[in-house]
Amino acid sequence: MSEHETLLIQVEDGIARITIHRPQVMNALSSQTLEELSRALRQIEGDSAAQCVIITGSGDRAFASGADLDEITDLNSAQGRDLSRKGQALFSSIERFRLPVIAAINGFCLGGGCELALSCHLRVASSEARLGQPEVKLGLIPGYGGTQRLPRLIGRGRALELLLTGRMVSAEEALRIGLVNQVVEPEELLPASLELAGKILKNGPLAVRRCIEAVNSGLEMPLEQAMELESLLFGMCVGSEEMKEGIEAFSAKREPRFPRKETHR
């Protein structure tokens, strides 16, 4: 993969790990970081060795502390709208990414950093993590999808409380309200994230991909239409080589050996 100035990227055992590497500013999301993240995801998508993605932050102080405020201060309204759309497009591409994406949240996960975590499919947090959307304290609102993804994830009332007060929540509270899937000790964050990715990798990659599609698309549809989508995707799985291998392995009481070639994406 090409070099990145603000990211570290590693692909090993089917798992691509993206580390936001701006520790001097608590991994704030600059425009360059957003551009590099977009480019890195395109590269990973074209890498047949990658089957799952983990996004984390460098060091133990922050996953990502938010947008780079130095870049926002002098923007006018139109430029602000353009910046918002750029971030929204990137985070929507993560939400729709064909591979599962896990956020490994270490330390502060605020503003744009929280919006990045919200766009990932699963979230594992260090017990030291702190999450929130404090934009109102700066006279702003979340602009990368936070006002829309947060209520869809934790409910309207809880989301509005966090958005209107700008308060941070602990990892334990985040777990209780459904903002994260798992909380572990700081030293276990990466191992736990890798373990979660490993559990996903044991399953049929086509089925995993279509689960993501069914949930993402179905949530935006009326229930009846969403059920039709589920039936369509289910039918696409039935009779596939992946399904045949899964049933054969189950019957033989062995681990399945699912095909992972490009043709199954």
Q: Which are the catalytic amino acids?
A: 115, 135
Q: In this structure, are strands 122-126 and 182-184 parallel, antiparallel, or unpaired?
A: parallel
Q: Determine the Cα–Cα distance for residues 164 and 140; give it in Å rounded to an integer.
A: 11
DSSP conformational letter for 1: -
d(CA 107, CA 63): 6
DSSP letter for 132, please: E
Contact 123, 103 (CB under 8 A): yes
Residue type (1 letter), 239:
G
Dihedral over Cα of 185, 189, 193, 199: its sign: negative
Cβ-count burial of 264 within 10 angstroms (0-12 exposed, 13-18 middle, 19+ buried)? middle
Question: Residues of 147-159 as b/e, b for ≥16 C-beta within 10 angstroms?
Answer: bebbbeebeeebb
DSSP 92-110: HHHHT-SS-EEEEE-SEEE
Burial 212-244 (b: 16+ CB within 10 A, else e): bbbeeebeeeeeeebeeebeebeeeeeeeebbe
